[in-house]
A and B are shown apart, each in its own frame.
Chain A
């Protein structure tokens, strides 16, 4: 498998969009799926399907083993200490809700403060917002600077004796800023503040090492990692999963259920109530195998090179204004065009088969700060090429022509 011709591993690229080759530049939203992942779902349902963790028949045992294998694959991929630190959820959103809910319930009281940043995706703000009402906590925002970056100092400035948890993105889905999270975590820990990292954009593009980062929680979105939808991962240090209460109640997460009381199951079952997204978990194992075969370092290098190329050609285009020039930038190219609204850009690009996203990208706080209602965003994945970025640029020129003629 070679990164140069990796497109052929993704069946979606066999299709035409408005009679054009698909130029998919919306991977920060959701990535396309390699054939191995799609096939794994089909094979599981046609040859191996059973519910996991309950029955003792042949299929049930086999399915349980497959399901647990992915847990180990994830553990190794992010270098967590223990497979029981990996909890499957219905998405990164649920992973963050799980922490906000259980941590809030157990540890937060009126007047406590939660620190997030102005860069956060709504899914790392709204779950914490509920605690304003239920617990009377305050949410503080670390300032984003003019480059679309968050500095350690901006975090430090907003930490108070009342700060009880820091929730922060690893990589901004709008400005592409890769935050110095290791240093930020060290700073927070020096003040006894646990840290949740929203890793939705980090996990698909950066090499991860939970033990080295030492974060308390790390949320992952599997569909952004060439995996199935309906699945997320919450990494949490074992001590937290032991200390925090369960999130949802139901089958599979219990120890003993009696009329007078209930005990809860061991890790990780305690947090996996009900029948889980079994096929997705098993197929996600193939996503990780796929990434591992290519090597995440190689993917990083490929995407870094493409991002640089994309920035270069867009900078040369006088009508384009790139949003965010952070010190360390991931493969996200947000931009605006003089005289053309991002939604019109997206519609015109779509006609050429170029798929981008336009809008606030679930980051209204950031857009307000930038003084923009919306931006256009091209985001890259392993399958993108320089040709894709050239097509982006030429379709952008078409927008300019339509609107300025």
Chain B
């Protein structure tokens, strides 16, 4: 194991200065996520337009560098994506974090893929996988209007 794989510069940067942190007026979908084992919390706000496109996305929350960076990168990549694309990206990311060596989707640029792959370091740290996946599960919940809070101990 190498800490440099986990704490890559991109992660440290996004962890310290998360993009799209905060709340905005006029959001029309939102969901909360919680990891009861460590107390990490995230609240994702979305503005989904009439074409089912995410026109704006922000998040509030607190947590470790991994969960903050994951939420930050996720919100960057999701802006402008429609529901189908959002689903594809989420599925691709979750598969990569669990099993796949690489991202398979062609929806994002190589640079964005590199950015997203910076989170793959958690694969060697099974206890930290949930830190990376919490914002993504919370986004699913917001998109599908699932009632209640996402709880990492109840998700796959």
Which of B35-43, B85-93, B109-117 is the interface stretch? B35-43
Most chain B C-beta atoms within 10 Å of own C-beta, residue among A339, A342, A367, A373: A373
**Smallest Cβ distance from A364 to chain B, in angstroms?**
7
Tell me whether A373 and B3 are in contact in the complex, defined as CB-CB below 8 angstroms, given that A347-B125, A403-B12 are known contacts. no
Q: Is B143 an interface residue (CB 8 A)?
A: no
| Cα of A359 to Cα of B125 in the assembled complex, Å | 17
CB pair A343–B38 under 8 Å, yes or no, is yes
CB pair A373–B7 under 8 Å, yes or no, is no
CB pair A367–B63 under 8 Å, yes or no, is no
Q: Is B142 an interface residue (CB 8 A)?
A: no
In the complex, which residues of chain B have a beta carbon less than 8 angstroms from the beta carbon of A402?
3, 7, 12
CB pair A373–B12 under 8 Å, yes or no, is no
Q: Is A18 an interface residue (CB 8 A)?
A: yes
Which residue in chain A gives the minimum CB-CB distance to B3? A351
Per the 8 Å Cβ criterion, residues 65-81 of B in contact with A are 65-66, 68
In the complex, which residues of chain B have a beta carbon less than 8 angstroms from the beta carbon of A347?
3, 6, 125, 127-128
Interface string of B118-137 (1 = CB under 8 A from A): 00000001011001000000
| Cα of A306 to Cα of B88 in the assembled complex, Å | 54
In the complex, which residues of chain B have a beta carbon less than 8 angstroms from the beta carbon of A342?
64
Which residue in chain B gives the minimum CB-CB distance to A352? B3
| Cα of A348 to Cα of B41 in the assembled complex, Å | 21
**Smallest Cβ distance from A77 to chain B, in angstroms?**
33
CB pair B6–A373 under 8 Å, yes or no, is no
A-B contact pairs, 23 of them (CB 8 A): A339-B16, A340-B65, A341-B63, A341-B64, A341-B65, A342-B64, A343-B38, A343-B64, A343-B66, A343-B131, A344-B65, A347-B3, A347-B125, A347-B127, A347-B128, A348-B7, A359-B37, A360-B38, A360-B39, A367-B39, A374-B39, A402-B12, A403-B65
Additional A-B contacts beyond A341-B64, A344-B15, A360-B39 (6; CB < 8 A): A343-B128, A348-B7, A351-B3, A364-B39, A402-B3, A402-B7
